Amino acid sequence: MNFLRFTCLAWLFAANLLAQTAPAPAFTNSIGMKFVWIAPGTFIMGSQKEELARNDDEILRKVTLTKGFYMGIYTVTQDEWMKLMEKNPSKFTGAGNLPVEQVNWNDCQEFIAKLRAKDHKPYRLPTEAEWEYACRAGTTTPFWCGNTISTEQANYNGGYVYGDGKKGVYRGKTTPVGSFAPNPWGLYDMHGNVWQWCEDWFERRPKDGKMQEVTDPIGKIGGSHILRGGSWIDNPLECRSAYRGGSAPAMRHSLVGFRLCFSIQ
């Protein structure tokens, strides 16, 4: 009897300790930005050779991310930007829940520094590997939603099609964040609307060879930073999960915004 009571107490203690140490599934910060927890894991980064319109540097890599992280469910909005910064740089205005755009990589770092000072949390841009891992949400198709995409699922140039897709609307501007369904991990606008800056530098990769296995990769220092996700003006092929873009850190354009993340481990 005493042994059974001891076992039950030990189990309850362990369960309580686990509940205290496990990351909360969601988090909202001091300016209302919402984040979801992305658990660590392993995935195949890049595109299969048979994927339509793939680029040579989308090589397959088995990537292990050893640390989980919180990812913003939306790209940073104009309302959120204005809570910390003095001026809205965006071309497309009129609603506070539109993504902030015309921000360069250095502007993002300034915003991050101010938010860190306010919240005392290690906010940052996601690495390229973290971004693709979060975008795919366990999927292996060109888009998290399947082998093609429609303008009912994302904001891109609907005058173009990908695979068996059909032409759709071309809105010619950004749409409010969260206008379309989220991916399986609760992240919105991972395809289209605005390109998203990543933390690391754009590193050209060799053409396909033996699959690499890498852990917590980050691009080597270069002249451009990674951009991911495509935008409102782009062909859907550029919105694929594996598509790699990049630009100089000083570049500003109405096609480009950003999303934040942070690690707690």
pLDDT tens-place string over residues 2-49: 544 444 434 444 334 334 468 999 999 999 999 999 999 999 999 999
**Encoding tokens for residue 200?**
């690391």
Q: Higher pLDDT residue, 99 or 203?
A: 99
Q: What is the predicted pLDDT for the residue at 17? A: 34
Residues 79 and 36: their CA atoms lie apart, in Å, by: 20
Matching residue, tokens 């366990």? 138
Q: Is the distance from CB of 231 to CB of 190 less than 8 angstroms?
A: no
Residues paired with 34 in a beta bridge: 28
Give domain limits for the chain: 25-262
Sign of CA dihedral 152, 153, 158, 163: negative
Determine the 3-state secondary structure of 13 from DSSP.
helix
Query: Residue 149: what residue type?
Result: I
CB 165 within 8 A of CB 149: yes
Q: Which long-range contacts (CB under 8 A, 24 or more apart) does 114-118 make?
A: 114/84, 114/85, 115/29, 115/31, 115/84, 115/260, 118/30, 118/31, 118/84
CA distance 116 to 209: 41
Measure the CA angle with vertex 99, ends 97 and 102; round to 5°: 140
Identify the band that residue 104 occupies on the pLDDT scale cut at 50, 70 and 90: very high
Model confidence at 1: pLDDT above 90: no
pLDDT reading at 201 higher than 60 = yes
Rounded Cα distance between 36 and 72, Å, is 7
Mean pLDDT within 114-138: 98
Q: Which CATH number fits domain 25-262: 1.10.10.10, 3.20.170.30, 3.90.1580.10, 3.30.43.10?
A: 3.90.1580.10
Residue range 236-246, pLDDT digits in tens: 999 999 999 99
* pLDDT cut 90: percent of the chain above it: 86
Q: What is the mean pLDDT of residues 79-102?
A: 98
- β-partners of residue 77 are 99
**Residues 130-174: pLDDT tens digits?**
999 999 999 999 999 999 999 999 999 999 999 999 999 999 999
Close Cβ partners of 97 (under 8 Å, ≥ 6 residues apart): 77, 78, 79, 176, 177, 178
DSSP state of 55: -
CA–CA separation, 210 vs 192, rounded Å? 31
Contact 234, 156 (CB under 8 A): yes
**Of 20-29, 75-84, 200-209, minimum mean pLDDT range:** 200-209
Contact 40, 68 (CB under 8 A): yes
Bigger pLDDT: 169 vs 265: 169
